[in-house]
Amino acid sequence: MSIIMEYLLKEKLMTEVVAARTEKKVSKYEDIRNEFEAWIKNKTYNTDNPLVVGGYTAQDICKLAPFMDGLGVFNFMVTLREEPAKAKEYIDGGFRRK
């Protein structure tokens, strides 16, 4: 079992189906997956040579959206890569939640 799947099942208490879908998204890109795995192990964001997606690091996203946990931050990193315009709208809007 991957470290991500173990985290999703044991810490986030997801069902296997939801965990598998979540793992698939956050593991889509090797660089994002690697940083997420490091976050799971250390519960800190990489500051030495962090991954930058769309001009933002995971720690930047965490500071902009402190209500997000690591999973939310790294899922958002995927969104930044795949849908940069949509992601920028969220950022510019202050991550307003309805």
Q: Considering the entire predicted model, what is its pTM?
A: 0.93
- Provide mean pLDDT across the span 1-21: 97
Residue 40's pLDDT is 98
- Does 12 have pLDDT greater than 90? yes
Domain ranges (residues) in the chain: 3-92
Closest Cα to residue 50, out of 61, 41, 88?
61
Mean pLDDT of 75-91: 96
Q: What is the C-alpha separation between 96 and 10, in angstroms, rounded? A: 29
In the Cβ-directed half-sphere of 68, how many Cα atoms lie within 13 Å? 21
Inform me whether the pLDDT recorded for 71 exceeds 90. Answer: yes
HSE (side-chain half, CA atoms, 13 Å) at 30: 0
For residue 76, pLDDT over 80 is answered with yes
Which residues pair with residue 53 across a beta bridge? 56
